[in-house]
């Protein structure tokens, strides 16, 4: 064996050892070259949740494509399987089960609707698979996914801004500006998202000395909401709180303005899509809500996101696209640091490692700087926005996380 | 309370207009056409799409919306009903075939997005939209405590006029007599030389055009058009209305529509909003138990 | 297509990763059989979702508040539904056809919108969280229940009850003139159907961490879906509604390839099946081939080429 061959052998050995040690050390340098990080998502593409699901899918796929085009996660490509749950709770759980147990995904994004989430999240917890909610905002999502059992769920995370944060922040911001004395709450009583929001409004107003004159619940499938609005308007409140979604908030705003009421509308996540602003038109001008995301933010991660989304899909992104995009960034960052083996026999331990790494995520996202709280909920800047009366929003103020 | 009566009359007109088409088909065919709520939605969706996406004037858009609704009437007859009649299928089969068609229509609109296969029909997916301000002038009058919006007020005379015309046609014209003969006894009508299939086709076209018109007026006055407006707002209430008024009776459907609007409002005002949804259905239940022929029905049918 | 490939290539793995789907098929099969009972006795009742709600809420509330064993909860839930069934049946069973259908819609929506959504104990619009649910362990009990239910109902249709129901379905007035106690036999079918629906509702609640008061769960939408099971599958034979439930529950998988347009294809499929098989898939001639009327009939009569 001559000298030069000995040296080269030594170099190779050292190099291999070095790689091995960084890999074992759990730093940023572990290589997944040639492997695949399998992720799944359950979104409502068809059915009533189709208002949100398609944007979530598009946002998530955009992030996956960008990461893969940039060399992947430590050399591994991400593959994302998106399943449609048809806005149905039972199908949502079925699709999640197949993703987890048949497709062997490392983690699941979704589902779109709160009703489905409260059925699917405990299932993922049971199967010890990380699940990241990107659009659900109700209560008892994190950490108490098994409510009324209050044991924190280890595998359930959420990157969408809960109504529990959004509604109080929004009310506080408005109280700081004006000093409303009375309010009426209009709440759709037959879906979980809206009912949760109503409970939060009722629990919050007292802190700010707003007298809630009346709570007016209604069924979502009410043809004409004018009678309910009439009841509200006749009490001459300073504020009308609306916790509902889909086409309802705009219907209420239009009817209240037509009946000559001039006060302030305050709401929750149900206001936060451009479609609602567009549907309400002039009647919605000034209606305020707290949002996880604001399209006009010009910091680089958001500007890049908005530009590439527009280029890819020929339309503006919305909050749901931004949150799903962020969801993939979070999982990719966690995967990068999780030092997984990514073999078929290591699935359970890989899921555990990924879960552990998710807890310490700290990255820049289109939502702003992003971390999880110890409850696995979002810790991010909240953007208070108001409708501009022409189908868009303007930023009122931003609130830093406490 | 005054404003609430205005509200009741307005929504009652929508219910009535929707239910007249529903009850017309039931009266003549003894079949519940469960695609009727999808036609209601399609009328509104097509009209909106013609105004906003295809740049037509509101009048042209309305005509296209009505034509599309009437066309679905033809589809219902040729695809969902006639093949079943030919096979002497039980009437219950028609429930399923019309449900299937409703599913197709709603799904087609729901999947209408920019760049999708149905973008010519609709581009707002599952979202709710409203006609842009100024599509139709909508002055609002304040009379005392009352707020009267032109679009809502307008619906009342339109509904009543149309129902009078329909009543006249049914009672005093050749076509009306033919339709009534078919309703009474299709076999006898055929023996008398009436083209029964043609009469049924005509019924479905008229019924669907009325359903589409109800949808257009609903979308215009309430500022809410989405793939689900039919299913959520009028499908089940339409049933309640035709039962209240008496299955198959046109004046019954009109009165039933206003009655349901009134029941809902009275329940809301007196019992509070929690109860109002349940009260309409409890009323429906009681009506059937106490007076199954409805307010204006005269005979009970045994076939479904 | 992955769905069916894995079904045949790796049945064990498929079974283990689709227990929720299989459970749902089983539950839908039981509800479909409940629908069969009323249709078989000539009653177009759409009350099943109401009784499912009674079953689900009763069993979960007993568990949450009294921590009673599952079996007891289910038995109590089913009995309560039976009582409600009698109370609802007494006034409405005089009604026929579509009138009965609409009256029962009145019942389920008054129950859902008027009662369930307004009582604090039922969680109002928030629904009920059910932390003791066992989504993955329910398959054996559900499938065994389904088989038992099918067998019992099949035996019933073969006995005196069954012939009375058949007679009533074919001609109520003739049945009456033959001395059949029409009202009593109709009530028996209605209450049995209520018991089955409540049982299915209690089982379904046990599979889910969440009892949801929504329309797709206990409202008209669910009623229409259950009716579709029975009519599509065929309501003349016990197995018909089960076949309907199987097909309708699997539609999202059968037409997976249609992607976003799945509901359009599924709707067209429903129309096509009902047009070609108006009596349902399982009808006269057993599992007959789907054949339109213009299709050449019976090869048997064709002349054989020597």
Q: Coil, strand, or helix at residue B113?
A: strand
User: What distance in Å separates the CA atoms of residue C207 and residue C20, rounded to the nearest whole number?
Assistant: 8
How many Cα atoms within 13 Å fall on the side-chain side of residue B279? 19
The answer to whether the CB of A138 falls within 8 A of the CB of A144 is no
For residue C132, give the H/E element and its range: none
The verdict on residue C207 lying in a domain is yes
B147 → closest Cβ in A51, A246, A259: A259
How distant is the Cα of A67 from the closest Cα of chain C, in angstroms? Answer: 25
Are B223 and A279 inside 8 Å of each other by CB? yes
The verdict on residue A4 lying in a domain is no
Are A89 and C208 inside 8 Å of each other by CB? yes
How many Cα atoms within 13 Å fall on the side-chain side of residue A43? 28
User: What distance in Å separates the CA atoms of residue A228 and residue A186, rounded to the nearest whole number?
Assistant: 8
Strands A211-218 and A239-243: unpaired
pLDDT of residue B145: 80
**What does the block give as tokens for A206?**
């007292």
Sign of CA dihedral C77, C78, C83, C87: positive
- What residues are paired with A378 via a beta bridge? A372
Chains that touch A (3 or more CB pairs under 8 A): B, C
Q: Which of residues 179-198 of A touch B (CB under 8 A)?
A: 189
Q: Which residues of C39-73 are buried (b: 16+ CB within 10 A; e: fewer)?
A: bbbbbbbbbbbbbbbbbbbbbbbbbbeeeeebeeb
Strands B146-149 and B140-143: antiparallel
pLDDT of residue C1: 56
The total number of structural domains in chain A stands at: 2
**What does the block give as tokens for A357?**
């790494």
The answer to whether the CB of A167 falls within 8 A of the CB of A290 is yes
Ranges of chain B with pLDDT below 50? 300-304
How many Cα atoms within 13 Å fall on the side-chain side of residue B36? 33
For residue B149, give the H/E element and its range: strand B146-149
User: What distance in Å separates the CA atoms of residue B184 and residue B187, rounded to the nearest whole number?
Assistant: 9
Q: Which residue of A has its CA nearest to B138?
A: A258
Q: Prior bond to A260 cis, omega within 30?
A: no
**What does the block give as tokens for B11?**
């929504």
Sign of CA dihedral C271, C274, C275, C281: positive
Answer yes or no: do A262 and A329 share one domain.
Answer: no
pLDDT of residue C279: 85
Are C97 and B302 inside 8 Å of each other by CB? yes
Q: What's the whole-model pTM score?
A: 0.90
Q: Which of residues 76-135 of C touch B (CB under 8 A)?
A: 91-92, 94-99, 101-103, 105-107, 109-115, 117-118
User: Nearest Cα to A104, choosing from A35, A39, A36, A32?
Assistant: A39
Answer yes or no: do A258 and A185 share one domain.
Answer: yes
Answer yes or no: do A176 and A317 share one domain.
Answer: no
pLDDT of residue B1: 57
The verdict on residue C187 lying in a domain is yes
User: What distance in Å separates the CA atoms of residue B13 and residue B26, rounded to the nearest whole number?
Assistant: 20
Strands (E), C166-255: 210-211
How many Cα atoms within 13 Å fall on the side-chain side of residue C194? 26
How distant is the Cα of C276 from the closest Cα of chain B, in angstroms? Answer: 9
What is the edge-to-edge ordering of all strands in the sheet holding A378-379? Answer: A362-365, A368-372, A378-379
The verdict on residue B126 lying in a domain is no
Residue with tokens 């769905």: C3
Strands A36-43 and A107-109: parallel
For residue B141, give the H/E element and its range: strand B140-143
Are B89 and C278 inside 8 Å of each other by CB? yes
The answer to whether the CB of A257 falls within 8 A of the CB of A230 is no
pLDDT of residue A29: 55
Answer yes or no: do A286 and A339 share one domain.
Answer: no
Answer yes or no: do A276 and A327 share one domain.
Answer: no
Suggest the residue from B130, B229, B262 to mutate for an interface test with chain A (most A CBs closer than 10 A).
B130
Chains that touch C (3 or more CB pairs under 8 A): A, B
For residue C113, give the H/E element and its range: none
The verdict on residue C144 lying in a domain is yes
pLDDT above 90 covers what percent of chain B? Answer: 51
How distant is the Cα of C90 from the closest Cα of chain B, in angstroms? Answer: 10
Chains that touch B (3 or more CB pairs under 8 A): A, C
Q: Which chain A residues contact residue C222 at CB under 8 A?
A: none
Q: Residue A371 — left, alpha, or beta (φ > 0 → left; ψ -120 to 50 → alpha)?
A: beta
Q: Is C6 in CB contact (< 8 Å) with chain A? A: yes
Q: Which chain A residues contact residue C263 at CB under 8 A?
A: 46, 86
B111 → closest Cβ in C99, C110, C261: C261
Are A89 and C133 inside 8 Å of each other by CB? no
pLDDT of residue A9: 46
For residue C190, give the H/E element and its range: helix C182-207
pLDDT of residue B300: 46
Are C131 and A89 inside 8 Å of each other by CB? no
Residue C296: pLDDT over 70: no
The verdict on residue C23 lying in a domain is yes
Write C139-143 long-range contacts (CB < 8 A, 24+).
C139/C19, C139/C22, C139/C23, C139/C26, C141/C203, C142/C22, C142/C23, C142/C26, C142/C27, C142/C30, C142/C203, C143/C22, C143/C26
DSSP code, position C300: G
The verdict on residue A7 lying in a domain is no
What does the H/E/C string look like for C38-100?
HHHCCCCCCCHHHHHHHHHHHHHHHHHHHCCCHHHHHHHHHHHHHHHHHHHHHHHCCCCHHHH
B96 → closest Cβ in C95, C111, C231: C231
Q: Is C216 in CB contact (< 8 Å) with chain A? A: yes
The verdict on residue C288 lying in a domain is no
User: Nearest Cα to B280, choosing from B267, B297, B293?
Assistant: B267
What does the H/E/C string look like for chain A?
CCHHHHHHHHHHHHHHHHHHHHHHHCCCCCCCCCCEEEEEEEECCCCHHHHCHHHHHHHHHHHHHHHHHCCCECCEEEEEEEEECCCCHHHHHHHHHHHHHCCCCCEEECCCCHHHHHHHHHHHHHCCCCEEECCCCCCCCCCCCCCCCCCCCCCEEECCCCHHHHHHHHHHHHHHHCCCCEEEEEEECCCHHHHHHHHHHHHHHHHHCCEEEEEEEECCCCCCCHHHHHHHHHCCCCEEEEECCCCHHHHHHHHHHHCCCCCEEEECHHHCCHHHHHHHHHHHCCCEEEECCCCCCCCHHHHHHHHHHHHHHCCCCCHHHHHHHHHHHHHHHHHHHHCCCCCHHHHHHHHHHHHHHHHCCEEEECCEEEEECCCCCEECCEEEEEECCCCCEEEEEEECCC
User: Nearest Cα to C246, choosing from C47, C53, C21?
Assistant: C21
B79 → closest Cβ in C221, C262, C271: C271
What is the edge-to-edge ordering of all strands in the sheet holding A156-158? Answer: A77-84, A36-43, A107-109, A131-133, A156-158
Q: Is A275 in CB contact (< 8 Å) with chain B? A: yes
Are B147 and A219 inside 8 Å of each other by CB? no
Ranges of chain A with pLDDT below 50? 1, 6-28
Answer yes or no: do A45 and A128 share one domain.
Answer: yes
- C66: Cβ contacts below 8 Å, ≥ 6 apart: none
pLDDT of residue A15: 43
Sign of CA dihedral A101, A107, A112, A115: positive
The total number of structural domains in chain B stands at: 1
The total number of structural domains in chain C stands at: 1
Q: Is C221 in CB contact (< 8 Å) with chain A? A: no
Q: Is A104 in CB contact (< 8 Å) with chain B? A: no
Q: Which chain B residues contact residue A220 at CB under 8 A?
A: 232
pLDDT of residue B183: 87
The verdict on residue A24 lying in a domain is no
Q: Is A337 in CB contact (< 8 Å) with chain C? A: no
Determine the structural domain holding residue B109 and report its residue range: 2-121+143-290
The verdict on residue C50 lying in a domain is yes
A223 → closest Cβ in B14, B115, B273: B14
Are A98 and C125 inside 8 Å of each other by CB? no
Are B93 and C96 inside 8 Å of each other by CB? no
The answer to whether the CB of C158 falls within 8 A of the CB of C91 is no
Q: Coil, strand, or helix at residue B45?
A: helix
Residue A267: CATH number of its domain: 3.40.50.2300
Q: Which chain B residues contact residue C278 at CB under 8 A?
A: 84, 87, 89-90, 93
The verdict on residue A8 lying in a domain is no
- What residues are paired with A79 via a beta bridge? A38
Determine the structural domain holding residue C65 and report its residue range: 14-262
Sign of CA dihedral A282, A286, A288, A291: positive
Q: Which residue of C has its CA nearest to A190?
A: C125
Q: Cβ-count burial of B218 within 10 angstroms (0-12 exposed, 13-18 middle, 19+ buried)?
A: buried
Determine the structural domain holding residue A133 and report its residue range: 36-161+297-366
- Provide the number of CB pairs (under 8 Å) joining chain B to chain C: 151
The verdict on residue B220 lying in a domain is yes
Q: Is A389 in CB contact (< 8 Å) with chain B? A: no
The verdict on residue B138 lying in a domain is no
- Distances from the Cα of B80 to the Cαs of A187, A218, B195, in angstroms? 39, 35, 19
Residue C200: CATH number of its domain: 1.10.3470
The verdict on residue C131 lying in a domain is yes
Band (pLDDT 50/70/90 cuts) for residue C284 is low
The verdict on residue C9 lying in a domain is no
DSSP code, position B231: I
User: What distance in Å separates the CA atoms of residue B40 and residue B37, rounded to the nearest whole number?
Assistant: 5
Answer yes or no: do A229 and A329 share one domain.
Answer: no
The verdict on residue A187 lying in a domain is yes
Strands B140-143 and A393-399: unpaired
Residue with tokens 């064996």: A1
Residue with tokens 């109401």: C50
């Amino acid at each position: 064996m001559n000298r030069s061959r000995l040296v080269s052998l030594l170099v190779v050995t050292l190099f291999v050892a070095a790689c091995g040690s960084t890999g074992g050390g759990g730093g940023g340098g572990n290589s997944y070259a040639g492997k695949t990080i399998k992720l799944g998502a359950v979104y409502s593409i068809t059915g009533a949740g189709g208002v949100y699901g398609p944007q979530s899918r598009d946002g998530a796929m955009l992030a996956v494509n960008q990461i893969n085009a940039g060399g992947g996660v430590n050399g591994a490509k991400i593959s994302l399987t998106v399943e449609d749950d048809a806005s149905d709770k039972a199908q949502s759980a079925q699709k999640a089960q197949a993703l987890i147990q048949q497709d062997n995904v490392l983690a699941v994004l979704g589902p779109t609707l709160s009703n489905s989430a409260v059925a699917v999240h405990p299932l993922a917890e049971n199967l010890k698979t990380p699940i990241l909610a990107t659009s659900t905002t109700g209560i008892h999502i994190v950490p108490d996914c098994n409510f009324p059992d209050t044991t924190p769920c280890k595998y359930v995370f959420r990157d969408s801004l809960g109504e529990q944060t959004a509604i109080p922040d929004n009310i506080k911001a408005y109280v700081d500006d004006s000093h409303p004395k009375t309010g009426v709450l209009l709440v759709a009583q037959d879906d979980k998202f809206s009912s949760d929001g109503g409970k939060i409004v009722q629990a919050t107003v007292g802190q700010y000395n707003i007298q809630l004159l009346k709570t007016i619940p209604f069924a979502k499938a009410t043809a004409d909401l004018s009678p309910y609005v009439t009841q509200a308007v006749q009490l001459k409140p300073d504020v009308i709180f609306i916790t509902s979604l889909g086409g309802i908030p705009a219907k209420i705003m239009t009817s209240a303005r037509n009946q000559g009421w001039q006060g302030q509308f305050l709401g929750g996540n149900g206001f936060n899509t451009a479609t609602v602003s567009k549907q309400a038109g002039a009647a919605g001008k000034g209606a305020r809500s707290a949002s996880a995301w604001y399209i006009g933010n010009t910091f680089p991660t958001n500007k890049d996101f908005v530009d590439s989304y527009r280029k890819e899909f020929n339309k503006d992104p919305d909050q749901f696209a931004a949150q799903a995009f962020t969801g993939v960034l979070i999982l990719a960052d966690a995967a990068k640091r999780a030092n997984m083996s990514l073999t078929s026999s290591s699935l359970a331990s890989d899921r555990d490692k990924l879960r552990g790494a998710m807890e310490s995520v700290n990255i820049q996202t289109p939502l702003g700087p992003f971390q999880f709280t110890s409850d696995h909920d979002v810790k991010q800047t909240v953007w208070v926005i108001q409708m501009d009366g022409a189908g868009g929003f303007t930023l009122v103020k931003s609130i830093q996380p406490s | 309370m005054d404003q609430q009566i205005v509200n009741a009359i307005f929504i009652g007109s929508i219910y009535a207009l929707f239910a007249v088409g529903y009850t017309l088909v039931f009266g003549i065919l003894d079949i519940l056409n469960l695609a009727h709520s999808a036609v209601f939605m399609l009328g509104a969706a097509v009209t909106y799409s013609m105004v906003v996406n295809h740049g037509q004037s509101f009048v042209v858009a309305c005509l296209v919306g009505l034509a599309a609704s009437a066309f679905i009437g033809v589809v219902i007859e040729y695809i969902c009903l006639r093949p079943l009649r030919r096979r002497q299928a039980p009437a219950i089969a028609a429930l399923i075939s019309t449900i299937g068609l409703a599913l197709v229509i709603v799904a087609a609109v729901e999947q209408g997005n920019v760049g999708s296969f149905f973008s010519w029909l609709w581009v707002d997916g599952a979202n709710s939209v409203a006609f842009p301000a100024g599509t139709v002038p909508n002055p609002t009058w304040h009379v005392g405590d009352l707020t009267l919006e032109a679009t809502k007020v307008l619906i009342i005379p339109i509904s009543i006029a149309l129902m009078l015309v329909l009543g006249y046609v049914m009672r005093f014209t050749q076509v009306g007599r033919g339709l009534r003969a078919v309703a009474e006894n299709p076999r006898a009508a055929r023996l008398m030389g009436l083209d029964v299939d043609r009469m049924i086709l005509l019924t479905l076209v008229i019924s669907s055009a009325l359903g589409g018109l109800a949808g257009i007026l609903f979308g215009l006055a309430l500022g809410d058009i989405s793939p689900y407006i039919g299913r959520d707002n009028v499908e089940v209430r339409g049933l309640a209305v035709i039962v209240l008024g008496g299955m198959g009776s046109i004046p019954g459907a009109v009165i039933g529509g206003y009655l349901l609007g009134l029941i809902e409002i009275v329940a809301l005002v007196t019992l509070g909003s929690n109860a109002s949804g349940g009260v309409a259905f409890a009323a429906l239940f009681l009506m059937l138990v106490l007076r199954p022929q409805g307010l204006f029905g005269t005979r009970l049918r045994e076939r479904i | 297509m992955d769905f069916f490939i894995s079904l045949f290539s790796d049945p064990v793995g498929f079974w283990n990763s689709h227990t929720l789907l299989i459970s749902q098929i089983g539950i839908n099969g039981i509800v479909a059989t409940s629908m069969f009972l009323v249709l078989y006795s000539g009653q177009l009742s759409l009350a099943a979702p109401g009784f499912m709600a009674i079953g689900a809420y009763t069993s979960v509330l007993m568990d949450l508040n009294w921590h009673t064993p599952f079996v007891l909860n289910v038995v109590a839930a089913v009995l309560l539904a039976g009582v409600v069934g009698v109370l609802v049946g007494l006034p409405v069973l005089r009604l026929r056809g579509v009138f009965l259908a609409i009256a029962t819609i009145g019942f389920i929506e008054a129950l859902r919108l008027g009662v369930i959504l307004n009582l604090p104990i039922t969680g109002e619009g928030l629904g009920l969280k059910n932390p003791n649910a066992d989504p993955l362990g329910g398959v054996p009990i559900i499938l065994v229940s389904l088989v038992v239910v099918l067998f019992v109902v099949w035996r019933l249709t073969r006995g005196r009850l069954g012939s009375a129901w058949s007679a009533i379905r074919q001609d109520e007035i003739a049945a009456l003139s033959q001395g059949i106690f029409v009202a009593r036999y109709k009530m028996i079918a209605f209450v049995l159907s209520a018991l089955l629906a409540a049982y299915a509702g209690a089982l379904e609640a046990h599979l889910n961490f969440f009892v949801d008061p929504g329309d797709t769960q206990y409202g008209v939408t669910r009623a229409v879906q259950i009716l579709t099971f029975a009519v599509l599958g065929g309501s003349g034979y016990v197995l018909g509604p089960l076949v309907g439930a199987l097909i309708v529950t699997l539609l999202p998988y059968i037409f997976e390839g249609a992607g976003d347009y799945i509901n359009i294809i599924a709707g067209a499929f429903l129309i096509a099946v009902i047009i070609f098989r108006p009596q349902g898939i399982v009808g006269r001639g057993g599992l007959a081939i789907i054949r339109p009327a213009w299709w050449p009939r019976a090869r048997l009569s064709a002349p054989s080429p020597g």
